[in-house]
Amino acid sequence: MTDPDRSLWIARLGYAGLALVLLAAPLLPLSTVPRPFATPDILLAVTLAWAARRPDTLPVAMVAATFLLADFLFQRPPGLFAALVIVATEGLRRRSARLRRGPFLAEWVAVGVAMAVVLLGHRLGLAALMTPRAPLGLTLIQVIMTIAAYPIVALLAHVALGLRRPAQGEVDTLGHRL
């Protein structure tokens, strides 16, 4: 196996491992009391950070598998949230080349729009299917908290996992532009 292949697989496995941890963490039976606020959806933030920064290390199949599993584990209608996340990551993937030339603020805005599309689209989808929904306030809190958490997630991913935006003109060992 050649070297760039290995680093690609390390990045992929890094995402898979992180996703697994983020799937298990909310399942910890620490408190079964209903909370008056909603926590940010960190798994979504991490996935979108990956899609905006290193889409080459984020296969669609992995996103699909992760979020389908999340739908099953978190008692959501299976498929709807996953489909929305795939649409959002594909959109960011297409824009990622342009995003890395712009400032971080532009990336934040693009990712924030994608988050709002996923979380509010999920709610709209539930409304269209006439399924019971959580109070609107909780969903809005979750959207705002997730968008607010994005810079922290991006910073941690940058520092801890080396998930940085490739510099302009950076190439891999085969001479392909990243």
Partner 1 sequence: MARERTHGEEFARPLRRLLVTLLVLAFVALTLAWRIDNPRVERLRARVVDEVVPRLDWAMAPVTAAVGIAQDFRSYQRLRDQNRDLRRELRQVSAWREAALRLEQENAKLRDLNNVSLDPQLTFITGTVMADSGSPFRQSVLLNVGQRDGITDGWPTMDDLGLVGRVSGVGRRTARVILLTDTSSRIPVTIQPSGQRAILAGDNTLYPLLDFLEDRDAVRPGDRVVTSGDGGLFPADLLVGRVAEGTDGRLRLRLAADYERLEFVRVLRSPLVESIEDVGGLIVPAGGVPRRDPALVQGPPPPPLAATASADPATPTEVAGD
Sites of contact with partner 1 (CB under 8 A): 20, 23-24, 26-39, 55-56, 60, 64, 68-69, 72-83, 86-87, 90, 93, 96-97, 122, 125-126, 129, 131-135, 138, 142, 171-172, 175-178
Report which residue type is found at 113.
V
* DSSP state string for 43-67: HHHHHHHHHHH-GGG--HHHHHHHH
- Report in angstroms how near the CB of residue 56 gets to partner 1 at its nearest: 5
Question: Which residue's structure tokens are 């050649």?
Answer: 2
- In the bound state with partner 1, the residue whose beta carbon lies nearer, of 137 and 155, is 137
- In the bound state with partner 1, the residue whose beta carbon lies nearer, of 1 and 33, is 33
- Report in angstroms how near the CB of residue 82 gets to partner 1 at its nearest: 5
- Report in angstroms how near the CB of residue 83 gets to partner 1 at its nearest: 4
What three-state secondary structure class fits 111? helix
Q: How big is the chain by its Cα radius of gyration, in Å?
A: 17
Task: State how far the Cα of 86 lies from the Cα of 146, in Å rounded to an integer.
Answer: 17
- In the bound state with partner 1, the residue whose beta carbon lies nearer, of 71 and 154, is 71
Is 55 in contact with 92 (CB distance < 8 Å)?
yes
- In the bound state with partner 1, the residue whose beta carbon lies nearer, of 134 and 160, is 134
